[in-house]
Amino acid sequence: MKLLEERIRKDGVIGAGNVLKVDCFLNHLIDVPFADELAREFYRLFRDCGVNKILTIEASGIGIACLTARFFDCPAVFAKKSKTSNMSGEFYSVPVDSFTHGNTSTVIVNKAYLSPSDKVLIIDDFLALGNALNGLIDIVEQSGAQLVGAGIVIEKAFQGGGDAIRAKGIRVESLAMIESMSPEEGIRYRGE
Amino acid sequence: MKLLEERIRKDGVIGAGNVLKVDCFLNHLIDVPFADELAREFYRLFRDCGVNKILTIEASGIGIACLTARFFDCPAVFAKKSKTSNMSGEFYSVPVDSFTHGNTSTVIVNKAYLSPSDKVLIIDDFLALGNALNGLIDIVEQSGAQLVGAGIVIEKAFQGGGDAIRAKGIRVESLAMIESMSPEEGIRYRGE
């Protein structure tokens, strides 16, 4: 999505250790009119798939997930990060390693909010190694719901998570796919 | 707001220790078409105040804040909960006690995202003792921005936080104000 690619080039900050900071429009300050255009694009991509539930993970996925759910006129569920791995039978749960935070948390969704009758679109702001997305896919599988696919704002394609998930036959649509980046040479998108 | 009061009565679960669980439409699953009506109401209440920025706190405020920001056609900033209190000069920060989680965290906002030229509307899902809201107000004051007021989805008025903040001259608009609640007697709203 050209609009997004240009915005990342203009406002994104490339840091050490493959970190791309987009705090100024996506992760801390959310440029909502802009994010609403991203949500509209997710709707365009998945509008014919019968989506009746959006799934994301706290915290930074929640905003874009809600804006996307508005286009689909459906609810959004956000998986929570729990400190305890000892959950009752009330929750679907899965351990997820965080690339950003360097720790592991248990990610949970109340069983009441995902069921076999759901057609789920996963939405998230970032995809790198795929840890969070694999966790959410696992939860959808536990629930018996149908996974329609995943809509990602920014994929750091060079970290391989997205392509590994696509190789399993899961549809992953990323609005910007970064093939390489460095403070010196900037960003190259897939296809450039 | 009648629509919300009825929804809380229908779907809210009153637990021990003054806890009201609205996970099924606001805090875990977000009924986005419904939440968008709440956002529209915040817009109606504050539309003439020149709001150019929404401020909320992660995680459960983010959804409603983004939906509200869409009506105002402005950005939303979400304050982050930090594990370290030893922040650099890059951030506004304030300690906040959590009623829900029984701990204290440092809440931070990057100084780049709030400035004296901003007219800020704070949005949050819950107001009880007022700890989170007081923290956000403190951050707005640190930034020199103008605080237009606060829009709260559910105020547990019997815990006093909202009225204490109103007594300081700050406009607080809560879409549902719970005057008392118990598992036995249910919910009584202010004015009933």
pLDDT in tens, A70-121: 999 999 999 998 866 655 679 999 999 876 677 888 999 999 999 999 999 9
- A-side interface with B, Cβ within 8 Å? 23-24, 28-33, 35-36, 54, 58-59, 62-67, 69-70, 73-78, 80, 109-110, 112-113
Task: Report yes or no on B184 lying in a domain.
Answer: no
Task: Report yes or no on A191 lying in a domain.
Answer: no
Contacts A111 to B, Cβ<8 Å: none
| Predicted pLDDT at B104 | 87
Q: Is the distance from CB of B122 to CB of B140 less than 8 angstroms? A: yes
| Predicted pLDDT at B97 | 87
Task: Report yes or no on B25 lying in a domain.
Answer: no
CB contact under 8 A, B30 and A66: yes
CB contact under 8 A, B59 and A78: yes
B126-170: pLDDT as tens digits: 999 999 999 999 999 999 999 999 999 999 999 999 999 999 999
Alpha helices in chain A (DSSP H): 2-11, 32-46, 62-72, 131-143, 161-166
Q: Is the distance from CB of B132 to CB of B162 less than 8 angstroms? A: no
pTM: 0.96
Contacts A124 to B, Cβ<8 Å: none
A163-175: pLDDT as tens digits: 999 999 999 999 9
User: CA-to-CA distance for B91 and B68, rounded, in angstroms?
Assistant: 25
Contacts A28 to B, Cβ<8 Å: 77-78, 80, 109-110, 113
- Domain assignment of residue B173, given as a range: 33-178
Which of A28, A36, A75 faces B70 most closely, judged by CB atoms? A36
Task: Report yes or no on B18 lying in a domain.
Answer: no
Q: Is the distance from CB of B46 to CB of B71 less than 8 angstroms? A: no
E strands, B83-190, where?
A: 91-98, 103-110, 119-127, 146-156, 172-182, 186-189
Spell out a b/e string for B14-42, using b for 16 or more CB atoms within 10 Å of the CB, else e: beeeeebebbbbbbbbbbbeebbebbebb
Number of domains composing chain A: 1
Task: Report yes or no on A5 lying in a domain.
Answer: no
Q: Which of A11, A26, A66, A109 to mutate to probe the B interface, most B CBs <10 Å? A: A66
Residue percentage of chain B with pLDDT more than 70: 96
Exposed / middle / buried, residue B136 (Cβ in 10 Å: 0-12, 13-18, 19+):
buried
Residue percentage of chain A with pLDDT more than 90: 86
Which of B28, B36, B75 faces A70 most closely, judged by CB atoms? B36
Q: What angle do CA A153, A156, A162 make, to 5 degrees?
A: 80
Mark the ranges of chain B whose per-residue pLDDT is less than 70.
83-88, 99-100
Which of A33, A35, A59 faces B58 most closely, judged by CB atoms? A59
Distances (CA, A) of A35 to A46, A66, B101: 17, 10, 30
Contacts B28 to A, Cβ<8 Å: 77-78, 80, 109-110, 113
Nearest CA in chain A to B91: A28
For residue A51, name the pLDDT band (cuts at 50, 70, 90).
Answer: very high
Distances (CA, A) of A159 to A19, B13, B68: 11, 43, 35
Contacts B113 to A, Cβ<8 Å: 24, 28-29
CB contact under 8 A, B77 and A28: yes
| Predicted pLDDT at B99 | 66
CATH number of domain containing B86: 3.40.50.2020
| Predicted pLDDT at B84 | 64
| Predicted pLDDT at A148 | 98
Contacts B110 to A, Cβ<8 Å: 23, 28-29
Task: Report yes or no on B26 lying in a domain.
Answer: no
Contacts A73 to B, Cβ<8 Å: 32-33
| Predicted pLDDT at B121 | 98
Task: Report yes or no on A2 lying in a domain.
Answer: no
A35-45: pLDDT as tens digits: 999 999 999 99
Task: Report yes or no on B89 lying in a domain.
Answer: yes
